[in-house]
Amino acid sequence: MRRFQKSSVSVGFFLTCVADFGCAFFLASILFRLFPPIPSASEIIFPSVFWFTSFLLLSGSVILHLAAGAVRMEWQRTFRRSLVSALVLGTLFVAAQTYGISCLIRNQSPTAGEIGVNAFATCFTAVHAMHFMLAQMLLIWVTLHAFADRYDHEYFWGVTICEWLWHALGLIWMAILVVFGVSV
């Protein structure tokens, strides 16, 4: 019986990850259709969508902090709502970052693509996005376990790790924005 429960949690995790990232990439494709990237190889263009992703990252960080506080106080309903809200913000973040990275890539000339500042910023942004996708999968795992009543005021380690990972990625994103600010 226990083996079946672990298997069903794993299948649920896999299906939720596929649905989440599928939704994010669907939203990114809508952004591509509504706002097609305009290539300009002569200068570095900071995609304005990155301001929106910064807001999403900050909002998610605050909401996860509230979720961690709610689980410590045994406010399970608020805790679960906060996790779902952070999950929605994370999905929107992945969609907008996908669009922004595509704008950065299309803004490079073939010769400047190897050593240019735009290529450097694009690589850092892409690596950040990959790490964020891992953080999003951790958030999915924590959310599924929250709805299975696995967290309470005594056990909330996974929530704390998820919160701190999101905070760390926010700080790294701020450093990437500084690199953009210096290079533009």
**Residue bearing the bigger pLDDT, 72 or 117:** 72
Point out the least confidently predicted range of 53-62, 110-119, 135-144: 110-119
Helical segments of the chain, H only = 2-34, 49-72, 76-106, 117-147, 157-183
Q: What is the mean pLDDT of residues 137-161?
A: 91
Let me know how long the chain is. 184
Burial of 14 (0-12, 13-18, 19+ CB in 10 A): exposed
* CATH fit for domain 2-34+49-183, picks 1.10.150.120, 1.20.120.80, 3.20.20.70, 3.40.50.10800: 1.20.120.80
Spatial CB neighbours of 2, under 8 Å, sequence gap ≥ 6: none
Residue 4: pLDDT band by 50, 70, 90 thresholds? very low
Domain ranges of the chain: 2-34+49-183
CA atoms within 13 A on the CB side of 10: 6
Spatial CB neighbours of 67, under 8 Å, sequence gap ≥ 6: 78, 79, 82, 83, 86, 159, 163
CA atoms within 13 A on the CB side of 102: 17
Q: Please tell me the predicted confidence (pLDDT) of residue 42.
A: 58
Q: What is the mean pLDDT of residues 105-132?
A: 75
pLDDT score of 74 more than 80: yes
Rg (CA), the chain: 18
Spatial CB neighbours of 124, under 8 Å, sequence gap ≥ 6: 176, 179
Whose tokens are 């190897």? That residue is 114
